[in-house]
Amino acid sequence: MTKISAFESSKRNLELCMMAPVIPVLIIEDLSTAKNLGEALVAGGLPVLEVTLRTDCALDVISEMAKIKGGIVGAGTLITCQDVKNAVNAGATFGVAPGATDKLIAACEEAGLPLLAGATSASEAMKLLERGYSVQKFFPAQAAGGAAFLKSLSSPLPQITFCPTGGVSLENAKDYLDSSNVKCVGGSWVAPKDAIKNRDWDQIQQLASDSVRVLS
């Protein structure tokens, strides 16, 4: 990949956020479930998938999901520069981080990986905006003030678009999406652990399509 600027990164992430109201946040422990899980979510109308780097097989999962027609796969929980390199090599086309550091941002820019960096406070959001990152992750959303907090930022910081993640569910997602500074949410409810374990791909596809129907 070629280098990417903060502006280009934000532009790409805004495009991703507007593709569907939910970005599934996936913690996959069994590589053999990756293909069917990804296909079920894409078929249900959720093409943008975030695979968190929290399991031993996560990078292999990214590689498998990168082959799915219509799917766009990114790597979540980027913490180190090595995480960035590994994610790109695995086929990730965007990255997500719980926060942001100078080294991590530089590594993503150097690798050409659009970064959805996390912010929790107005100051953190302003620092990212100062660097050119106008599309940000708000994490942990519910614990950090929820939809009411994000809505309160829309007036003083209208330049920033957020993707709230952490404690977001089908029941409260609409509260976030009703705010002008939120284009999508990140959530794991569309891929419950039990459904993945039981390989109930029909249930997962239905959860995805229900989320699109209710939240669009």
pLDDT digits (tens, 9 = 90+) for 52-108: 999 999 999 999 999 999 999 999 999 999 999 999 999 999 999 999 999 999 999
**What is the distance between the alpha carbons of residues 154 and 207, in angstroms, rounded to a whole number?**
30
Report the number of distinct structural domains present in the chain.
Answer: 1
> Which residues form the catalytic set?
50, 137
Stretch 32-60: mean pLDDT, rounded?
Answer: 98
Residue 51 has pLDDT above 90, yes or no: yes
Residue 206 lies in a domain: yes
In tens, the pLDDT along 163-194 reads 999 999 999 999 999 999 999 999 999 999 99
Distance in angstroms (rounded) separating the CA atoms of residues 105 and 100 = 7
Look at residue 38 and tell me if it is in a domain.
yes
Number of Cα atoms under 13 Å in the Cβ half of residue 175: 17
156: in domain: no
Residue 139 belongs to a domain: no
Residue 1 pLDDT class (50, 70, 90 cuts): low
Residue 96 lies in a domain: yes
Domain that holds residue 65: 6-115+166-174+183-215
For the chain, counts of helices (H) and of strands (E): 10, 9
Q: What is the pLDDT of residue 164?
A: 98
Read off the DSSP letter of residue 119: E
Tell me, what CATH number does 69's domain have? 3.20.20.70
Q: Residue 184: exposed, middle, or buried by beta-carbon count in 10 A (0-12, 13-18, 19+)? A: buried
The tens digit of pLDDT for each residue in 104-163 reads 999 999 999 999 999 999 999 999 999 999 999 999 999 999 999 999 999 999 999 999
